[in-house]
A and B are shown apart, each in its own frame.
Chain A
Amino acid sequence: MPGPRRLRRVLVANRGEIAVRITRTLRALGIASVVVYHADEADGPAIREADEAYELTGETPVAAYLDGAQIVAIARRCAADAIHPGYGFLSENAAFAEAVRDAGIAFIGPSAQAIRLMGDKVGSREFVRRHGFPVAPSAYEEDDPASFAERAAAIGFPLLVKASAGGGGKGMHVARDRVELAERIETARREAARYFGDGRLYCERYIERPRHIEVQVIGDEHGRLVHLWERECSIQRRFQKIVEEAPAPGLDPALRARVLDAAVGIARAAGYSNAGTVEFILAPEGDFYFLEMNTRLQVEHPVTEMITGLDLVALQVRVAEGEPLALEQAAIERLGHSIECRICAEDPAADFAPAIGTVLRLRPPAGPGVRFDSGLAPGQRITTAYDPMLAKLVVHGASREAAIARMRAALRELVLLGVTTNAAYLDRLLGHAEFAAGRLHTGFVVEHAAALGAPPPDPETLELVLAAATLSSRTVRDLTRHVPEPYASIGAWRN
């Protein structure tokens, strides 16, 4: 059993808000922070937060962050004793985790083996099923290609046809009868081959109006593994999460207990250590199925932190140092309710097309129970080079109603000018009666799309906005300046 090894310098192999967030905890722990950046973000906030910064080069910015060898080389050069991969990029790349550890550097995350196991979407489901945990009934093509369609139909309709090599909500199609099934298989195979380079498919039962419930787990290297309660992530569009909250509203306590137990059981069976999230699909009838496990820190982890008062990154660091987790499951309390909204550069009026622009003004909301995690700096150019998420707005309240109210007030207080965001859309979403009632499911935004559309502006506000634009636009303002006297004083007179 490895003894505690104090980390002195950690390299954060990521960017944007998560790089800033991780660096802040490192500083609080008295650990030196190193951040890597691409040239087009040379003056980003993460560089200013960290103690040291090194440039990453690549064909594209994303390619730079995916260059594991370069990152390891930098870590060596600056004598970092650990790498935190954040989320996305290389965080679930088993080969990267191995390369880091082979270089004698600690990888703040689970073992490469656990990453590999859970990274295989098909293999991990089989693993989970074998260990007796609920998995949505499925049929895998590669088991026997000839009988694939038949085995799929036997599960019962509706079915979801998925690419084995897919993920992130891409390459999935619904089939409601045999005829559609045959068509969808053709379509899905063509797409899978084109986008993922691998045409293999599997089918699973399609749950209508499901809820997406996930459980935060964390384990140490001494065999202790606990859950830090669940999160509700049902508000999604095209399988991308928009709003997350903790705890899941209106969840039957017995059902909750079963879900939490299943998550812990799955993680334990996988010999999991460090932080991870087990995701489930919850059917309206109350049955739930394993969806996948993410072997990394998730975007929405702050809501868990808000209700437990724990710092997940600090816990990750301690686990990586070989420290035993000083957490007793029974003693991990949750208090109140937390909601997170993802502020994205997109235009809800243009079917959420990505928006570009420059951050001309930024005034984050502040106050008790309000947390704004961003990697934004004034003057920053927002392009399509990276993910459209600009920031996470997280609130905590004594109750769900209080949290919703606090979130809506914070969304209205947030000033972010220069690039179109979904902030007003989120305000309307949180104000929807169904959201307040906790009647959530993954089709929520589609079902209520019409009601969530922007209403026509009220006349008083419209005049205020037009007046502001009239008085500040150079084009418009200059032309009124030149009306000479006495004409300006005489006004609109006719003889």
Chain B
Amino acid sequence: MNGEATILHADLDSFFASVEQRDDPSLRGRPVLVGGGVVVAASYEAKAYGVRTPMGIVEAKSLCPGAVVASPRFEAYSAASKAVFEVFRDTTPLVDPISIDEAFLEVGGLARLVGSPESIGARLRERVRDEVGLPITVGVARTKFLAKVASAYAKPDGLLVVPVDGERAFLHPLPVERMWGVGVKTATKLRARGIEHIGDLAVVPPHALSAYVGRAAAYHLHALANGRDPRPVQTGTRRRSVGAQRALGRRHKTMEEIDSALAGLVDRVARRMRKAEREGRTITLRLRFDDFERATRSHTLPRPTARTERLLLVARSLLDVAEPMIRDRGCTLVGVSVSGFDPQAGVQLELPFGEPDTATLDLALDDVRERFGSAAVLRGSLVRRGEGFAMPTLPD
């Protein structure tokens, strides 16, 4: 492990909303909500009124009546993300992407050539501002975790360096919610035991902590709270899952509508898997209810696959199981992801039963969509509703 503060966490501020403000000068300085039925991004001006994501547009408008609503333009976000990542890769070859709007950068080897991590961070912010026109916040620290906490602390449009001898002084007074992996539920449990700050968490022995957060999480939290995070900045690690999701808005949906949205998502995920030449065994269905609580259901197949038909069959059976929950609690988002990739796995051929060959169908559809765009061929059930927004993703 590295003993110096050389890891940068660079995170674009209110990414989608900032792109809208960049491209439409009339939106600058004003509260902006990006989304259809649900807010997928809000500018800092809107966040000041208490708008959070995800939140229904109606609720957000009631909190912030002056807000301007912009429809998402995902192509513009993809292009902006690409441009920002070019700046990252021009800064250092060691870029570890987390999502389309954030990444870790290791700048340890650059001290003599370019300058200190702090000056590199400042230069990076300037370049993203000048070359792409977007605000970005950078946290600098010895570990990934501290760098991320630092950038969250410095937002918006800031730069914060956590010096190695100032880690405890920075981290320990922060509320436990700032910990990675501590959400509202865990925070409530911890606070009920008098653990309010990260400093409180650091002194609880992990075996005592495991009674209320689970064993693995307890050791993990304990290590992070004490500044131990051995994960290096890694480039070229292939992603461990491929997924897509679709917000469905707040109005009532029939199971058929949810099912057809799911089928469209499976089409998209399966196509991306085939393009990246991956096969997965575990299919996870993600749901968000009317109250924005989330749930997941998953199933693991005996053999990996990238076939649309197989993945859809599993996704649908997971949806069937979740049906009573959806009836009770509504559904505002559906997502599906496939994981359990095993690059070592050999290809098990299937018996030729003379059934319709869905593998060939998949390849033919992939070709058509590659050439004429993803909306060139749609499922019958999606013709009227469309396939929904394709959230931009990192390359697989």
A associates with B = no
